[in-house]
Amino acid sequence: MGQNSSGNGRPHLHQRLAEKIVTLPYTALFTLWFTLAALFAAAYALLAIFAPAHAPQGLLNLEPLRLIGNSLYYSIITSTTTGYGDIVPMGLSKILASVQSIVGFFLLAVFVTKLVSQQQELAVRQMHKLTYEDVFHNTREGLFIIRKDFDRLIARVEQRELLTPEDWEDLATAFKQGQSLLLEIPEFYSPEEIGLYTLDERREQLLQEAVHRTLHRLNQLIDEMSLAGIDWMAQKETTKELTALLHVVTKVMALWRERSPYTRHESFEEILRLRERAANRMRGAIGK
């Protein structure tokens, strides 16, 4: 026994046709609807001329121009399923009117669905953009707060004040927060197949600058603690989180450069140099 189209995994012809119609642009969809209305109007007019018993009543015994106009009017009314009742189908025209009503209703439904879908897509894109804008500003603000924490500790070290356990705890927390913020950055770039909001070049530069300043301030803190003779490597939790932060920087920079659609990569190199400088400070402190 042969298999039908559904049995061998292939869609039916009417399914393929429906999918093709749904993907049509608005102009093509309207052209198709109007063309079908004109063809049905021609059919009604021909019935009125050659088979009056099967023609819609109200199209009979009319002058050519009035016949064409009324046939098109009746066809459009039928296609939109309005049905004023001033022209009534008879005989074979009932079948034609039924078919046209179904086809016309389907095309109008597709048209309305596409309008609704487009509005929903625009709303999703707007929500996506607003969310990304919010995350973008939160990321920059978070990096700014981390730098303020570094500045506070740098000032204390420069004044040769002893760092308290709370200070070391705050520093470990800042390193943790830095990891979380940096891991958000690659997510700012939507895959092309989704086509959603992606950071523009100016915002990317602002974000690169924020990361660069944060790592620069980190190196300043390490330098000041080394000059003050502070054994900062003895703070296990702090050095653990710093090591994790430097690892995240390496990982994020690779993803960031890969996903960025822009060609300027000097900022990435500068950030990696600062990262390597901090790592060298750690290796040097371990070797002492």
Indicate whether 238 belongs to any domain: yes
Indicate whether 5 belongs to any domain: no
Find the domain containing 74 and state its range. Answer: 13-90
Quickly tell me which residue has 């000041």 as its tokens. 224
Query: Cα separation of 288 and 46, whole Å?
Result: 102
| Number of domains comprising the chain | 2
- Cβ-based neighbour number of residue 109 at 10 Å: 10
Mark whether 154 and 81 lie in a shared domain: no
Please report how the helices 165-184 and 236-259 are oriented relative to each other, as an axis angle in degrees rounded to 10. 20
Mark whether 192 and 281 lie in a shared domain: yes
pLDDT value, residue 37: 93
Indicate whether 140 belongs to any domain: yes
Q: What is the DSSP string of 67-124?
A: HHHHHHHHHHHHHTT---SSSB--THHHHHHHHHHHHHHHHHHHHHHHHHHHHHHHHH
Mark whether 280 and 189 lie in a shared domain: yes
pLDDT digits (tens, 9 = 90+) for 216-258: 999 999 999 999 999 999 999 999 999 999 999 999 999 999 8
Mark whether 252 and 145 lie in a shared domain: yes
CATH number for the domain that contains residue 270: 1.20.58
Mark whether 163 and 261 lie in a shared domain: yes
Q: Which of 77, 76, 40 is CA-nearest to residue 55?
A: 40
Predicted confidence band of residue 13 (pLDDT cuts 50, 70, 90)? low
pLDDT value, residue 2: 47
Query: Cα separation of 177 and 171, whole Å?
Result: 10
Indicate whether 103 belongs to any domain: no
Give, for 202, the enclosing helix (H) or strand (E). helix 201-227
pLDDT digits (tens, 9 = 90+) for 163-202: 999 999 999 999 999 999 999 898 888 665 445 566 788 9
Mark whether 129 and 198 lie in a shared domain: yes
